[in-house]
Amino acid sequence: MTAKIGRILAVDDNEDILFALKLLLKNHVESITAINNPERIPEVMKKEDFDVILLDMNFTKDAISGQEGFEWMEKIIEIDNDAVVVFITAYGDAEKAVRAIKAGATDFVLKPWQNEKLLATISSSIKLRRSRWETDSLRNKQKELSAVMDQPFADFIGNSPEMQKVFATIQKVAATDANVLILGENGTGKELVARALHRNSHRKDEVFISVDLGSISESLFESELFGHEKGAFTDAKKEKPGRFEVASGGSLFLDEIGNLSNTLQTKLLTVLERREVVRVGATRPKAIDVRLICATNNNILQMVSDNQFRQDLLYRVNTVEIHLPPLRDRAGDIPLLANHYIKIYTKKYKKNIKGISTSSIKKLNLYPWPGNVRELQHAIERAIIMADSNILEPDDFILSTQPNKVGDFELSSFNLDDVEKQIIVKVLKQFQGNISQAAQELGITRTSLYRRMEKYDL
């Protein structure tokens, strides 16, 4: 230990031992408190937090059983459940060491000790204590977050009949393991529905894994979803579980499922039918247990009719369908949504925005919102950034008169890759390289946009 870290409590009835410990540790730890009477342990622990407690196993003359040490360790853990206790005794043997660890001790040191070994033991014990603190802190934050997130529809805002119908369907379906297909335009909140299904299911304490199928190339599909073994291909430097394996026991959300090629549809269908995956480069299958939730903004029934989507796969993924209405069909929710995002972005940007004017609401209601709720969210955020007064007025909202157009430009070819590249370039220019805004305008995730930019070397 180079820098001084940790606060130590040493408990031993031998004053010479305590003196030796203080002499050894004073240059290595922040502080060392030494007491020769274990009865003082509760009193001392209430006054100060200790990273490591060095505890003698025997306090009664001629006692060698170590039972006193075990009893005092139980009391220490009652006071501080995360306490790190290192037993120290002259009568140690393998049996006592095993008993000590099983009883909750972190380590076991014999008298007379080796200085280097004792310092190494204390150093590792301090790290353990700090990691327990960090874990507890993370767990508490997670509980606080879950308390908010686990509200039935924490991320959903809407009083319209259309949204109430969606909420009712989620409540009926969530408790089951039925596969769900979520249909809706870009920006309507399909992933929010998926997360609400997961949070209200019996799998809520397990993982929720979201996969944007539009961002995964055909060559990486099997590796990403089913996993691969080390050496399965050139870049496979170590084994990697696929998304199905990682999500096993929880929920797996496959977004943009309508974008899969027929070949990939067949591979996905095989996994769903067998409920097992075979990693790339492996021969033995691995069983998986996932609650599957899929989504698409495509007309999936038309795709089936046009032989672009397998009907048997559709049967597998759409035990229940949830149709998300576009924002233009639930205009009554716009004031509610607007005020919700005003609160969020007022706090984020530390602006003194108190509300939105009636004329602004009227303007928002007249707009068709081709980008749906996501576009409204972006419009509110931009308005708050640019607003000069504490009430959002119509002029604070810059809404396109031709919202479906990126701009007038001629296509250099009808090749789909060329068309996609031109549109991405145009949108990136329109938003001055802002990836988040460009992705929202295009109706894809930031990850999808980055992958497409890499694909076209932008």
Give pLDDT tens digits for 50-81. Answer: 999 999 887 765 556 667 888 888 888 888 88
Residues of the chain with pLDDT under 50: 1, 144-145, 147-152, 402-407
Structural contact between residues 159 and 333, judged by C-beta atoms closer than 8 angstroms: yes
pLDDT of residue 269: 95
What is residue 214's predicted lDDT score, i.e. its pLDDT?
A: 83
- Closest of 415, 412, 446, 410 to residue 431, by C-alpha: 446
pTM: 0.57
Task: Write down the pLDDT at residue 431.
Answer: 79
- Distance, CA of 13 to chain centre: 49
Can you give the pLDDT at residue 14?
A: 87
Residue 3 is predicted with a pLDDT of: 63
CA angle 346, 348, 354 (to 5 degrees): 10
The domains of the chain, with CATH numbers, are 7-141 (3.40.50.2300), 161-325 (3.40.50.300), 328-396 (1.10.8.60), 416-455 (1.10.10.60)
Tokens of 369: 């919102």
Alpha-carbon 394 to chain mean position: 37
Answer for the pair 287, 276: CB distance below 8 angstroms, yes or no.
yes
Distance CA 284, CA 287 (A): 10
